[in-house]
Amino acid sequence: MGLVKGHRAVKLIVGMFAAQERLFETARIELSESYGPVDHLSPVWPFDFTDFYTEEFGENLLRQFLSFVELMDAAKLPEAKLHTNDLEQRFAADNGRQINLDPGYVDLSKMVLATTKNHQHRIYLGKGIYGEVTLRFTRKSFQPWEWTYPDYRTDHYISFFNDVRQTYLGQLKEL
């Protein structure tokens, strides 16, 4: 029988995509009010890996990621997803959402995303939210799984998450 232990704090990340870059700054300010200062902000990249969101958001979507200085209890991921869903609705216009906000976290061995969609490779976390291990850390870098979204497989995304993990590792050493 294994002994029950607490889980170490994790590093909250949020992926954002929108057709208007100005929304990233607005969302970052809102998110910082809840989760504290941002320590990593990715460049703005084209989000052109799928046309799934074109009808809702339009064309020429942009993507940006951020992470926060303050570490988070991994069990709080469902609350973070519900909060970002609320923010999406607050930013919505008559024709629907203007920005998509996807929270997750970086841990030493994995990068997890929160979602409202169940699937065979996702685990129910509570409150209508599922968790997906999107990347695993092995051989000194994050690596994709067979189900990893195509954009999360790219070198620049993986490089960003490796940088976040390096900062997180330093934070853990200071604890």
The neighbouring-strand residues paired with 123 are: 131
From the list 14, 6, 41, the residue with the least C-alpha distance to 175 is: 6
pLDDT tens-digit map of 58-73:
899 999 999 999 999 9
Whether the Cβ atoms of residue 47 and residue 71 lie closer than 8 Å to each other? no
Structural domains of the chain ordered from first start: 10-174 (3.30.70.260)
pTM of the model: 0.95
**Mean pLDDT to the nearest integer, 150-175:** 97
Q: What is the dihedral of CA 106, 112, 115, 120, to 10 degrees?
A: 180
Mean pLDDT across the chain: 96
Q: Kindly state the tokens that stand for 154.
A: 């790219």
pLDDT tens-digit map of 104-121:
999 999 999 999 999 999
Residue 95: pLDDT above 90? no
**Mean pLDDT to the nearest integer, 88-101:** 92
Q: Residue 175: what pLDDT? A: 87
What's the CA gap between 136 and 119, in Å, rounded? 18
Q: Residue 6: what pLDDT? A: 87
Q: Residue 92: what pLDDT? A: 93
**Mean pLDDT to the nearest integer, 32-52:** 95
**Mean pLDDT to the nearest integer, 42-59:** 92
**Predicted confidence band at 140 (pLDDT cuts at 50, 70, 90)?**
very high
- Helix, coil or strand: residue 58: coil
The larger pLDDT score, comparing residue 56 to residue 11, is at: 11
For the chain, percent of residues with pLDDT exceeding 70: 100
